[in-house]
Structure 1
Amino acid sequence: MGINTGTYHNIGNSYEKGSNAALLSAIARSAEELTSGKGWPDGVHDLLETLGRTTGVSRVWIFQTIKITETHITQNYTFEWAAAPKHKQLGMPMFSMFTNAIDRPGYRDLIQSRMRGEWQKVVTDQLEQDWLRDNLEAQKIKSMLTIPIIVEDEWWGTLGFDDCDRAYDWSDVEIALLKTAGDLISNAVLRDRLSAKRKQFAILKQLTASSVWEFDFNTGQIWCSPEVLHSVPVPTDNIRFSLHNALRLIHQGDRRKLITAAKIYMKGSLERVFRFDMRLFTDCGDLRWVELIGNIRKNKNGRPTQLAGILIDISQRKREEDRLREEAVTDPLTGVTNRRMFEHKLQEHIDYSVNEGRIFSLLFFDIDRFKQLNDTYGHQVGDKGLCHVTKVCEKILRPNDTLARLGGDEFALILPETDENTVRKIGERIRRKIEATRFKTKGKEYSLTVSVGLATSEGQLTTPARIIETADVALYQAKQTGRNKVVSLTECCSKG
């Protein structure tokens, strides 16, 4: 005897309509259509028709569960096959995105039963006279079978069989076979979701480097697609790690923070989606900023089974954030601290001085006759002069000193652990160096001088405004007494 082969399209057509063999072969044909043929949603329409014609019922339908609260349930009538036009209900307003209260006797129990994945069958004239019998009789339904569609452990919807001609009592074998049809629909939903996610991920990968990842709580294994982990794109399969090895890919400064954030999320953070920015080593040892995004899945007992999501390369975003952060605290022309950050740092130094009894000094200076320089030679020369003064000062400053441009030609210098005698020496060095150093622009050389005012705080209680005013008064005195000099408040008081 030779080998016989064939497809599933015509198998079982010779079986008696309504027999278990006919039903099983119909499900087999539909399975092939759903998985390798039309898929979702066209394959579902065909499945309902096949099941309806094979079982001989009046109507096969699917209600999708949209939302469930403690008091109400919202459903939508999404699919239907009807044996005759008189049985058609799809499109009726009463079944289009409809909401029902679940406080009717027995209805809450029915909902909870479906949420547990349990089937229900009824013969209408055997029911007590209640809301369910009234509802079925209004639709001229003599018997009904419903099978929950469970997707990823959640009640996604209901597969229903209405018979308006027979008071039919479904057998256990028939119910088991039709449960298989419900599973096929569940798999079709999952395949559709996966297809949508793949399309979304493909678009995302076009916009930025990104990888899919998943952590299995049962095995302790992590798998990740290779895109973000490779410096140069290479065709390769997904990469698997133990949790220990995966943590080694994360920058040491981010590991403990990641673990802490993950524990907080898993303990019931209000955030549904877990997000964490971290530095990741690529296969070449380069550091790359990535955003870890994921959500957790739990079993029916509430135990976590899987944490999965995507990794997105955010290196460019981090560079942009650093640039914006730098611009927020930096003078754009000279590159030194701006007034806003100066005031913040000054308050920090005052607080430290008062709390710890430490000394610090403040040095104010501006360029002599700067307006005249601008008016005579133009703002470009004036800007060059400001940058020249900045460069001269930076060569003199210590690592912990803070140089700031307050606006125009006004500069300030915060000097921690610096007494009045030392700040005077530093002020003189700056004044002499600027006077002795010329700057060149457009083939011409220019010279500048500065006037300097000093103030010192020795741990006494003060405010930024008060110490700024002290240094400003000394600067004003330097201007009034000839410019190109360093003056402290002590000198102002002794001469007053």
Structure 2
Amino acid sequence: MTGIVVQDTTNLLNAIARGAEALSCGAGWPDGMETLLAELGNVTGVSRVFLFQVIDRGEDYIVQDYIAEWVGERKYALLGDDGLSMFRTERSEPEYWAIHESRKAGSHHAIIVSELPDCKVRRLLEGQGVRSMLTIPLMVDGRQWGVLGLDDCEREYRWSESEVALLRTASSLLTNSILHARLHARQQQFDILKRFTDCFAWELDLKRMLLWISGDLSGEPGGRELYLTMNKAFRMVHPRDRRALTRAVNEHIASGEKTFRHDVRLYRPGGGWTWAEIIGSLERTEHGELRQFAGIVVDIRRRKVKEMKLQEQACRDPLTGAANRRTFERNLSFYVDRARSEAMDLALLAVDFDRFKEINDTWGHPVGDMVLKKFVRISEQCLRGGDVLARIGGEEFVVLLPGAGMDSAVRVGERIREAVADLGPLLEAGSIGFTISIGCAIWDDAMSRPDDLLEAADKALYEAKHAGRNRLVCHSGDCPLPSTES
């Protein structure tokens, strides 16, 4: 039998139009799909119109599911057949595999079963009572989503080119409906996400290098979508974060990983610079070419505040709030490197309490803790903005003084020592006066390691203790010793 005559082609076109209305203006996907299948079946007179969906595909296999059908008579029904539910085809089945590979490329297949060679495909179709079949792949976003098929169990029907072209139009209606449903689902998911987080969507056009941003960022009532060149887009990123963002994107593309995550500061109208996490999904073609880069940006200001507090806690002594030993060592190494490379002055004060054990033994450890905290508050009032006060032991402290020479270091150390010595009673029950001894050292060419500076300050501190306490001694020996004793 040859193709349908012109009048029937017109009927087919009208049937497709009715199906299109059901999909676009009526029930939509998937309910409108059933209307289209019925329209196609009734106008073509075939026994069965069906849909397969590709569930999974690998290099050596494909998994499909028989998800929908229209049948002219009940005896033609296959929906619910266990053999068609989530069935797997292996590459080792050459007849099947050749068809799947052709469909993946977008090709249709018009088959007269009696003309097939003796193979598994023919035996399967004969077992289903099929005499002729037409299948058209459903391509969504350039990939095969599934198959639209028409089986005739009564006729050996040969489809004309015009009929195939019209049925391809029907398949396009189905794919557009699938896309619309997918976008609607994603919008619902995004709306749910927005209830819990402050976020907006973005998509990067990798061909034109234009960035689309949803209206949530515009700052206008109702918002408006933005299309930005990369130069304008980068102006929204904090200057200190631009290089790291570029490096992170390039490394992500080179890695081949699918999900991208990176924290940056973004400018938002009316909100200034705010911390945000960029989350994206990088899609590639089957040949590995970049196809799409899109995702969302989530406001993480609250999370960053918590992270910064945790980082601050990790860098601080929990009792006194001074920097801890690890933070001091990191700063010491950094400033020693600068002293070497830039000939920058660098001084270090090593501080220890005089007879601190007596305070603990007399008043108890809670009072001893109070004394340590009071010392830190006093010292902070005597230091400059860039100086580093750290607790490195029980009652042992150090003060790192970047840019300070011997004279400046001595002045800072004496201010701290005198402020402590002049401190009044700490308890109403009695006076808890306490004093400190200080060793001062300056970085010089004779030193090679950061520890050399610390050892020099410790040596000067030992000399201060040996000389009578409550005094500052410089490692060079040139510093005058105060006569005050504890």
User: TM-score scaled to structure 2, two decimals?
Assistant: 0.83
Q: Which residue is 1:254 aligned to?
A: 241
Q: Is the 8 A contact 2:217 2:223 kept in 1?
A: no
- Cα distance between partner residues in 1 of 2:78 and 2:471: 95
Write the letter of the residue equivalent to 1:61.
F
Q: Is the 8 A contact 1:247 1:255 kept in 2?
A: yes
- Cα distance between partner residues in 2 of 1:98 and 1:228: 46
Matched, 1:203 2:189: no
List aligned pairs for 1:13-412, cutoff 5 A. Answer: 19-217=8-206, 221-230=210-219, 234-263=221-250, 265=252, 268-284=254-270, 286-296=272-282, 306-349=292-335, 360-374=346-360, 377=363, 381-412=367-398
CA-atom RMSD in angstroms: 3.6
Deviation at 1:194?
Answer: 0.9
Q: Which residue is 1:8 aligned to?
A: none
Question: Is the partner of 2:392 in helix, strand or coil?
Answer: strand
Q: Is the 8 A contact 1:350 1:462 kept in 2?
A: no
- Cα distance between partner residues in 2 of 1:346 and 1:253: 24
Residues 371-393 of structure 1, C-alpha deviations (whole Å, 9 max, x = no match): 54456556664444323212332
- Cα distance between partner residues in 2 of 1:262 and 1:193: 27
Which has the higher mean CA deviation after the structures are superposed, 410-419 or 131-140?
A: 410-419
| Distance 1:139-1:356 versus aligned 2 partners, 3 A rule | same
Q: Is the 8 A contact 2:61 2:91 kept in 1?
A: yes
| Distance 1:269-1:439 versus aligned 2 partners, 3 A rule | farther
- Cα distance between partner residues in 2 of 1:245 and 1:462: 48
- Cα distance between partner residues in 2 of 1:113 and 1:439: 92
| Distance 1:343-1:75 versus aligned 2 partners, 3 A rule | same
| Distance 1:257-1:341 versus aligned 2 partners, 3 A rule | closer
Question: Is the partner of 1:128 in helix, strand or coil?
Answer: coil
| Distance 1:85-1:378 versus aligned 2 partners, 3 A rule | farther
Q: What stretches of structure 2 of length at least 5 have no aligned partner?
A: 478-486
- Cα distance between partner residues in 1 of 2:475 and 2:287: 74
Write the letter of the residue equivalent to 1:286.
G
Residues 421-474 of structure 1, C-alpha deviations (whole Å, 9 max, x = no match): 875565444322211133757898753211334556534566666765665566
Write the letter of the residue equivalent to 1:281.
Y
Write the letter of the residue equivalent to 1:438.
G
Question: Is the partner of 2:49 in helix, strand or coil?
Answer: strand
Which has the higher mean CA deviation after the structures are superposed, 125-134 or 233-242?
A: 233-242
- Cα distance between partner residues in 2 of 1:427 and 1:220: 58
How many residue pairs align between the two structures?
472
Write the letter of the residue equivalent to 1:29.
R
Q: Is the 8 A contact 2:95 2:120 kept in 1?
A: no
Question: Is the partner of 1:141 in helix, strand or coil?
Answer: coil
- Cα distance between partner residues in 1 of 2:180 and 2:364: 69
Write the letter of the residue equivalent to 2:180.
R
Question: Is the partner of 2:215 in helix, strand or coil?
Answer: coil
Write the letter of the residue equivalent to 1:54.
V
Q: Which residue is 1:436 aligned to?
A: 422
- Cα distance between partner residues in 2 of 1:319 and 1:190: 40
Q: Which residue is 2:438 aligned to?
A: 452
Q: What stretches of structure 1 of length at least 5 have no aligned partner?
A: 1-15, 492-496
- Cα distance between partner residues in 2 of 1:81 and 1:32: 18
List aligned pairs for 1:459-470, cutoff 5 A. Answer: 459-460=445-446
- Cα distance between partner residues in 2 of 1:173 and 1:442: 103
| Distance 1:489-1:279 versus aligned 2 partners, 3 A rule | closer
- Cα distance between partner residues in 1 of 2:363 and 2:448: 42
| Distance 1:456-1:238 versus aligned 2 partners, 3 A rule | closer
Q: Using the aligned pairs only, state the percent identity.
A: 40
Q: Is the 8 A contact 1:354 1:461 kept in 2?
A: no
Write the letter of the residue equivalent to 2:163.
E
